[in-house]
A and B are shown apart, each in its own frame.
Chain A
Amino acid sequence: MTTVLGLYNYWIVVVLMMIGLYIVIANGNLVKKIIGLNIFQTSVFIFYISLGKVDGGTAPILVEGVELYSNPLTHVLILTAIVVSLATTALGLAIVVRIKEAYGSIEEEEIQIKDNKEC
């Protein structure tokens, strides 16, 4: 029982990650794929943050009289990772815009059909 309670949080994160991953793999729409990627990454962030959480601790900004802080290192890592994910999103969407202009569609299958015609 204690394991279930202790790991419940992680399990939800896993479910979220998988939903994100599912969108990325199974969806044919390019924008939605990127949104899925975003969800996937955000879930990973949640995972990181939850592994740095300490029961009874508070945010890692020093104040007098508080001894227990949550883990600042994971926060730092995730700050960096969020920026990376923003960068990826921006670039991915830029490519999508160009694809739309070049192919007139943002559906995976239509693009593949058009490509095959050219070959």
Chain B
Amino acid sequence: MLTHLPALQVLIPLMAAPLCLFLRRPHLVWMFTLIVSGLAFLISVALLQQVMVSGPIIYEMGGWSGPWGIEYRIDRLSAFLSLIITAMSTVVLIAAQTSIDKEIPKNRQIYFYILFLFALTGLLGIVSTGDVFNVFVFLEISSLSTYALIALGKDRRALWAAYQYLIMGTIGATFILISIGLMYQMTGTLNMADLAVLLPEVAQTRTIFAAFAFFVVGVCLKLALFPLHLWLPNAYAYAPSIVTAFLAATATKVAVYLLIRFTYSIFGISFSFTTLPLQTLFVVLGLVGVFVASTAAVYQKNVKHVFAYSSVAQVGYMIVGFSIGTTAGLMATLLHLFNHALMKGALFLALGAVMYRIGSVQLSSFNGLGRQMPFTMAAIVAGGLSLIGVPLTVGFVSKWYLVMASIENGWWPVAVLILLGSLFAIVYVWRIIEAAYFKDPVAGKEPAKEAPLAFLIPIWLLVGANIYFGIDTRLSIQVAQAAAHSLLGISP
């Protein structure tokens, strides 16, 4: 059975989803989903271990090898990503039942879990496949389920946000489809490894340039890189809290993964960065994104909006690290992927808890919450500190590596700008802290109780991880480094 692990990881959530329909009782379905997600998590741990020791695993779907069939190719990067995804989904699901009970009508809860499983499947499928068209199919599985999940939000603006996301996401996916078509036309293959071999021969054609351009634009739409980020804040803000936490922690990460996978492993770094002006473009866009989004975050009234804009800013950091193009830069990006998933997961879950208790996440309703929900607010503070990049949290680690990487490359201004960006983070996190601890609660309002345990456990799990990986960085750095090395073709 061990040899089937790469396939099983995707298949278990996939097959479990239709089974949910047979269970009928939301409570049972929740348990089942949680177990399935946990199982996927265990598999991903096993896979990561295996990959770290033995190198990439290749699994041939249907027994057809190479470019003829579809193969799954798990290398360090994809194992790392699937670890993040499954870990986040499991943690988030612990809180799901409590939160969903309140936010979604009973007769739709089963569908919620099924869609959640499909979203998980899609994301896992994207990271583990070795076939570009299969990427498209799984991208659509995850996006379709995400649209529906967002539209399940209570507010009617959720529908509008979902619709916008659907339009943007589909355009993005279609762009990716065009790009795949162009690549196929020039090389005659869809297999990633095969493409990497065949592309350099035709790399100097205009068709491949266009293919690359379409791919980048398509992924950036999914990635919400500035200026294509417009769908993201609303989608995050109005989706059910659980969905927000899951998406914020995973979806953009997978898009970053795609970008890394295509530029580094398929097109090859020299093509991406020297033949085309991608590097400068990305650094500029990334930095502008950091500043614009951070500024926007400062002015938001809805706390979910604040963190959503901060997500856009964080994506900017990742893109900067990614476009530095050295091992250090890439490693910083990967670290940030992991760390950002941890902190955003914690923050949005905490917001979910607030939502659960007081039914609103407007900044004004946070007044005095520091005393009413001490544990939840403490978690938000910890997450916020991590977002700023205070030492002893994970945010510090990844920012440190990012700055180091840019200095190493001789990009002083970039390093300075990254640090400046953190200042903005201080401002917007401070506004929340100020409201929670230094303002009196609105008179006459029922004081809120502390969040239920179902929330506190996953929140503090994530916060704990935030601090643990901030202090003991060996594990995460080792994995990120190995992944970065293998991507750049350097043996560790």
Contact = CB atoms under 8 A, between A and B. Distances in A.
A and B physically associate: yes
Interface of A: 17, 21, 24, 30, 33, 37, 40-41, 44, 47-48, 51, 73-74, 77, 80-81, 84, 87-88, 91-92, 95-96, 98-99, 102-103, 111, 115, 118-119
Interface of A is mostly: helix
A87 B185 CA distance: 26
Contacts of B360: none
B177 A102 contact: no
Contacts of A74: 184
Interface of B: 133, 136-137, 140, 144, 147-148, 151, 156-157, 159-160, 162-163, 166-167, 170-171, 174, 177-178, 181, 184-185, 190, 301
Contact of A92 (B160, B163, B171, B178): B163
A87 B163 contact: no
A59 B157 CA distance: 48
B181 A48 contact: yes
A82 to B, nearest CB: 12
B140 A99 contact: no
Contact of A103 (B156, B162, B166): B156
Nearest to B145: A91
19 contacts: A24-B167, A33-B167, A37-B170, A37-B171, A44-B178, A51-B181, A51-B184, A87-B140, A87-B144, A88-B140, A88-B144, A88-B166, A91-B144, A92-B163, A92-B166, A95-B163, A99-B163, A102-B159, A115-B160
Contact of B177 (A30, A81, A87, A92): A81
B166 A95 contact: yes
A80 B137 contact: yes
Given A30-B163, A33-B167, A88-B170, A95 B147 contact: yes
A30 B160 CA distance: 10
Nearest to B162: A95
A77 B178 CA distance: 12
Contacts of B166: 88, 91-92, 95
Contacts of A17: 178
Contacts of B163: 30, 92, 95-96, 99
A24 B168 CA distance: 10
Contacts of B140: 84, 87-88
A84 B167 CA distance: 14
Contacts of A88: 140, 144, 166, 170
